[in-house]
A and B are shown apart, each in its own frame.
Chain A
């Protein structure tokens, strides 16, 4: 099994451009997450989803949108990229549970906004 796959792995954008990051999981997990990781700040939750067709805001949702049209896919969109969105983005998924289910992570997308 591939687990959690993120595409693309690297991308450079100009300020104002838009793009979509794709996350796909093959573990039939109910929950999916998008985080960003910046030096000294750990992981910050952007948006998450507890099931197909549902999404919710995390800690730092501004400037991002998400969609979960299929259970296995979770898309993260940047409508108008800004230099402050330069970061490493991680997708994760987990089974539904009583908070005791670990999250499984992809290898990240390194995004630079010029």
Chain B
């Protein structure tokens, strides 16, 4: 069965610094991968997704993620953090046994330091 591990439940970076949020997955077949963002008192919003093709995926708000099959990773990055990036971020993988479910990681809360 597929699973997702997000390293670090809390990550703090200074404004203007690189953002790196780590996500590793387990899957016996090529996965579909997603990153979602959740701002306070809101639902989850899709940041980006990888299905097939180019392994570097660009999303909204300057975020991007790279699918690395050899490392079973899909880390999320942004070159320069902004105060508005403070939120909780969820990595997710599609359940290859069924096409109707997505498996979410437990989330990483990103704190931006002024």
Contact = CB atoms under 8 A, between A and B. Distances in A.
Interface of A: 4, 31, 40-43, 45, 48, 50, 58, 90, 92, 96-100, 102-108
Interface in B90-114: 90, 94-96, 98-102, 104-107
B45 A40 contact: no
Interface in B10-50: 32, 34, 41-46, 49
A90 B42 CA distance: 10
Interface majority SS (helix, strand, loop, mixed), chain B: loop
Contacts, number: 56
Given A105-B44, A107-B41, A98 B107 contact: no
Given A105-B45, A107-B42, A96 B104 contact: no
The SS class assigned to the A binding surface is loop
Contacts of B51: 100
Contact of A99 (B9, B32, B46, B90): B32
Query: In which size bucket is the chain B interface?
Result: 20 to 34
A31 B95 CA distance: 14
A42 B108 CA distance: 9
A108 B43 contact: yes
Nearest to A97: B99
* Most A-side CB within 10 Å, residue of B34, B43, B49, B98: B43
A42 B9 CA distance: 10
B38 to A, nearest CB: 8
